[in-house]
Structures are given as C-alpha cells and as structure tokens.
Amino acid sequence: MATTDTYLNQPSQQQSDDAHGYYTPGAPLVDEKAPTGPIAMRWTNRKFSNALVNPANRRKLNVIIVGTGLAGGAAAATLGEAGYNVKSFCYQDSPRRAHSIAAQGGINAAKNYKEDGDSVHRLFYDTVKGGDYRSRESNVYRLAEVSTNIIDQCVAQGVPFAREYGGLLDNRSFGGVQVSRTFYARGQTGQQLLIGAYQALERQVAAGTVTTFTRHEMLELVMVDGKARGIIARDMATGEIETHLADAVVLASGGYGNVFFLSTNAMGCNVTATWRAHRKGAYMANPCYTQIHPTCIPVSGEHQSKLTLMSESLRNDGRIWVPKKAEDCDKDPRDIPEEDRDYYLERIYPSFGNLVPRDIASRQAKNVCDEGRGVGPMVGDFRRGVYLDFSDAIARLGKDGIEAKYDNLFDMYERITGENPYEVPMRIYPAVHYVMGGLWVDYDLQSNLEGLFVAGEANFSDHGANRLGASALMQGLADGYFVLPNTIRDYLAHAPFAPIDESHPAVAEAKKSVEDRIAKLLSIQGTRSADSYHKELGHIMWEYCGMERSEPGLRKAIDMIRELKADFWSNLKVLGTADSLNQSLEKAGRVADFIELGELMCIDALNRRESCGGHFRAESQTDEGEALRHDDEFAYVAAWEFGGDAGQPVLHKEDLLYTAIEMKQRSYK
C-alpha cells in the first residue's frame, strides 16, 4: 500500500466484540493491487501498467463466466470481441433473462449533459457518501470515471434511451441527488441495457468466440494448485454433471437477496455460485450489508412468493403517510381527513421529506407499522403498509401528467393489487432489494483466490454500506465492459497454465463432491419441502437481520438458523431423480447454501456494532434515534474466510483509508 499518500482518516480500532465466541480473528487484509497517487490518475495508470496479451495468443486462453446479467453478459461479449475463448453460463433458458432485466429506474453517468454541475468527482463523492464511507475510494472513483463510456457504448448498440424533443438524451434526478445524471428507458432501463449486452453476446456466439451454456447451474469451483481453473455445473435439463476447465473463472452471478425468501429478486437468484467459491477459500465481504427498498408492493398473504418493486421515482410526486390514530387504519383512506394523517417523512425530515434515502424511508415505514399504524390487510399480527398518495400530484399535474410519468408502474400496481392508484392511494412497504455484500475482490476484481474474478452485484466493491439508486446498473456494466476486460488480461498474460483434464485428482474430487451432495439431498426422504425451509429462514432473517438489528436478536437468529440447518439435513423431502430436470432438487441445493450464508450474515451483523448505510443497529443510535456510525471502530471491510463446517469463520479486516474524501456523519434532518 502507498507510503506516499496522505490519509485523511486513521485506521479504526475496534473496542466492542459482540461476536466473541462466534468467530476467529484473522490477519489483517491488504489489497495488494490498490493503486496510489492522485486519485484521478489511478485507473489510467493501472491500465497502462497491466500486461498485454498478444492477439494471437488470446484464442488459446479460456475464460469461464458464470452469469449473463449486465456484468457477466458485458464481460463475455467484450472478452469475446478481444478474441478470448469464452464459456458463458446461466441458469435461465436464455442469457437475456438474467435478473438485470428487471431494473426499472435508470443508470447513472457523469455526463453532465444538463450542465448542472455534475462531474466524475461529484458522482464519486455522492457514491462514497451514499455508501456511508464503507467503500474503497479508488474503486468508486474508477466507477464514476468509466460511467460516461457506458452510455456511449449502449447508445451505439441501439439501446433506446429516453430522448428530448431535440433528439438528445434525457436525464432525470434519482434517489435524492441534486443533479440529473440518470439515463433511463421508461421504467425498463435494465431490460434495455441487458438486451444490448445480450445482443453483443449473441454476436460473439455467432463469431465463435463465446459458447453459451444455458440451463446450467454452477455447483462447484475447481481449484488446482492454488488457482481457480474451472467449475462443475449441472445441466438442468438432463441432470448431467459437467466439468468445465479454463485459465480463469469469473463469477458474475448476481446478488443473494433471496436469503430473505421474499425479495424483489427473481425466484432463481441464489448464492450458490459465490458460496461454493467461499467454501473453497474465497472471502465473503460485508455479508450483512443489504439494501431494503422502501417502495415495494406490500405482502398480501402467506402464499406470497416474491415482492415487486416500484421505481423509487414515484417518491418524486407521491406523498407518504399513515393515519395518526391506529383506529383509522382500516378506514378508506379517502375518508380520513387531512388533519388525521401523519405525513411522517415530511414531519421528521422537513428538508428532504419524501425523498430521504432508501434506508431512512424504509426504517420509518417499519417504525410506524410496528406502532400499529400500518395500513392494508393484516399479515401475521399487524398491517404492513403505508400510503403513497398521488392526489396532490394529480391535482397539480393532471391525470395525464401523472400517466405520462408513471403509466406502467400504475398499471403494474393495479394488476397485482386489484386497486386503481389514480383513485385510491397506493400502499407500499419496504422489501429486500439488493446486497452490497459479496465476494471480496481487489482493485482488479480478483478475489483472494488466484484466477477467480468477481463482477457485478456478486462482488462487494463499490457501494459500501448502501447503494445509491441507479448505481448498480452502472457498476454491472462498468465491471463487465470496462474494468474486468482490462484487469483480467494482467492475469491471463501468465497463461496458459499447466494443462489439466478431468482425471486430475482435484478436478475429479470437485465433481464427486457435487454428485455426493446431490445424492445426499435426494436420500434424506424426510417430510418438509425445500421451500418451507426457505420460508422459515426468510422469516428469521427479516425479523432479526433486516432493517433493524440488535445484539439479542442476532444471537437468537444464529441459534434458530443452526437448528434449521440441522433439521434441513435430516428432514428434507426432495422427490424425483438426479438425472432429469428436477426443480425441487435445484431449489434444495440453493436453500442449503442460503442457510449457511444466513448464519454468516448474522455473525457479521453482530460483530458490526454500528448503524451504517442501509442497516441500523439498535445499540448504536443518537439521542434522537438516528443511525450512529462508528468510524473509530468499524471503518473497515469485514472479509470472512470459511472456517470449515465444524469450525468458526475467520475475520480479516481491510482498513478503509481515504485520501480524496473526508468522512462525515450523514444528516438528512
């Protein structure tokens, strides 16, 4: 690490030790690839110092990419264009269906097309601040820097972004920032960006540089002589267990929000790819950092299988309220007079009002519902919903004005709830939406395992403890198009590595472990479905490791998860066979990994006795009940090493030191 750079903060010294007895302290962790010098030059310098690979050698080099979302799809297309031999995997039937497709709101870029004072530096600043000073400054700066290239690339691919009358690109302001830097395609930005990447990927398939393996699930990482050399995947249509070997492996397998059972993630989103790598030695960083999104359609009953997000842009025009009195909660909201409504965000945060950051909006919604002032149907023992009311906006802009802006969102809401939001206020409730935690990577996006790279939501690197709206799409494409292709070549310049084949003991062992595990899952023959375990895990996580966490709650959760795990492995029921399409078996494998992850998340949350970013620790608040961060103790990345099934996870700390930005406590009052 730099000796020439001057840091604006001191390394933290943790005093508390809440997770004592649940983990083993490990050696400090340093990012050996961390660049130094003036922040604006770091990426340029790194690209220059990275080794080049002779074009003639590239097609002899094999890269496996797990995931075809924005990160994996973009990386596969770009590495294919460069001439590498790429194998691309996804669990869906087509690369185009990766969950990036569902992103609605938009993608940030520091284009400053609006001349409203935006710049790379401002986007960098907003992102570090938004992440509550728990991300690496060099990574974030690079993200802001390449953001502008992303828009150029996408437009050239034919991504139909929204445009103004004059034909230039339109922007909106998003997620409480003061500048308009968000590019969008109606409420379907993720879809349009992903289709762009998908088409670029299919073009490479036609060119013969990329081979796609759809309906394939990665179930194990192959490590040979300390290097990631391949994966074991199951062909989900036939059940065949396949070995794929390469010179480097990229995981771009998305986020693990489904550990909460209910989330805005797609049904198949899972942690298996990254968790299997974790068990093989890759560190899992900040696993407890999850983002809860305030504007989702509330749960309607026990049968619910997933939650639907509505773009946060709705908060630009909708006003959030609940009745002042609990006894009004089952009334028709239109019959509740103005003076009996509590516009609680406007009341508590007069300057930001309904546009406070996601975590604050979410937590306050939970608070008013916990107080018994929630609205909508009873779910369990209370009502989980608050109103998002457009009547003022409709009066101001007309129904047409609202329609032009939110048409598809209003339709979606009506389809799901059966209520017309032009007439009755919408009901919203927070839901798990994104995970900032993920596999630890260095500046080159390489994990601590040589040859294993991690991109997109699957890594931990850019969003600290909280992600700003429209920044995940930016990160996925930055990683996939611009960062990874430039950093992985430094590694591939040393390849091809020693030839290996399926008979290599380490490879054969990896394959056998997958077969054994599948046989185990099928042999338990108990009474409960994988889904029922998943639901139970989700309840535990939401209750104790969700928006608000406390020491006793987390301890209780860890015990409950351990019991659940024991029960899972003795009482699971999976029908069908290993050698055919078997969705119950797929699900069981994923739930098994979620259970292990859930425990680690709770341990991580227990250790971090501070409120920061998206999560709130009951033991760390100001006198006014606001989040209190502890930079003196926790300005570090918590990177967890797998400690074995019988052992404890090992905690490695990477200090977060800043040269270009000064840490401040957030205040939205």
Ligand X SMILES: Cc1cc2nc3c(=O)[nH]c(=O)nc-3n(C[C@H](O)[C@H](O)[C@H](O)COP(=O)(O)OP(=O)(O)OC[C@H]3O[C@@H](n4cnc5c(N)ncnc54)[C@H](O)[C@@H]3O)c2cc1C
540 binds another protein (CB under 8 A): no
Closest approach, Cβ 303 to another protein, in A, equals 5
Both tokens of 500, joined, read 């290996």
**Binding-site member from 62, 85, 100, 466 for ligand X (CB under 6 A):** 100
The pairs formed by 375-383 with CB atoms below 8 angstroms and a separation of 24 or more are 375/322, 375/323, 375/329, 375/330, 375/333, 375/427, 376/298, 376/427, 376/429, 377/298, 377/300, 377/301, 379/298, 379/299, 379/300, 379/301, 379/302, 383/329
| Burial class, 400, CB count within 10 angstroms (exposed 0-12 / middle 13-18 / buried 19+) | exposed
270 binds ligand X (CB under 6 A): yes
Cα separation, 565 vs 559, in Å, equals: 10
Phi and psi for 250 in degrees, rounded to 5?
-115, 125
Binding mask 403-422 for another protein (x = CB under 8 A): ---------x--xxxx----
Contact 387, 333 (CB under 8 A): yes
CA angle 175, 178, 181 (to 5 degrees): 70
Closest approach, Cβ 669 to ligand X, in A, equals 27
Task: Indicate if 617 belongs to the active site.
Answer: no
580 binds another protein (CB under 8 A): yes
214 binds another protein (CB under 8 A): yes
Closest approach, Cβ 101 to ligand X, in A, equals 7
Determine how β-strand 290-296 pairs with β-strand 319-323: unpaired
Q: Give the one entry of another protein, ligand X, none that residue 456 binds, where binding means its C-beta sits below a cut-off of 5 to 8 angstroms depending on kind.
A: ligand X
Cα separation, 485 vs 475, in Å, equals: 14
Binding mask 145-184 for another protein (x = CB under 8 A): ----x-xxxxxxxx-xxxxxxxxxx---------------
Amino acid found at 404? A
66 binds ligand X (CB under 6 A): yes
**Which residues between 416 and 445 bind ligand X (CB under 6 A)?**
433-434
Question: Which of 60-68, 147-155, 162-170, 358-366 is the region at the interface with ligand X (rule: CB under 6 A)?
Answer: 60-68
191 binds ligand X (CB under 6 A): no
Closest approach, Cβ 572 to another protein, in A, equals 11
119 binds another protein (CB under 8 A): no
Q: Give the one entry of ligand X, another protein, none that residue 254 binds, where binding means its C-beta sits below a cut-off of 5 to 8 angstroms depending on kind.
A: ligand X
Closest approach, Cβ 577 to another protein, in A, equals 9
Q: Give the one entry of ligand X, another protein, none that residue 69 binds, where binding means its C-beta sits below a cut-off of 5 to 8 angstroms depending on kind.
A: ligand X
Specify the residue, 85 or 188, whose C-beta has the smaller distance to ligand X: 188
Cα separation, 253 vs 246, in Å, equals: 18
Of the candidates 89, 472, 92, 439, the one whose C-alpha atom is nearest the C-alpha of residue 256 is 439
Whether the CA torsion 279, 283, 286, 289 is positive or negative: it is negative
Q: Give the one entry of another protein, ligand X, none that residue 473 binds, where binding means its C-beta sits below a cut-off of 5 to 8 angstroms depending on kind.
A: ligand X
Q: At what angle do helices 530-545 and 551-571 cross, to 10 degrees?
A: 170
**Residue whose entry in the numeric block shows the structure tokens 């020439």:** 4
Using CB under 6 A, list all residues that contact ligand X: 66-72, 89-92, 98-100, 102-107, 189-190, 216-218, 252-255, 264-265, 269-270, 272-273, 309, 433-434, 456-458, 470-473, 476
Where in the sequence numbering do the catalytic residues fall? Answer: 358
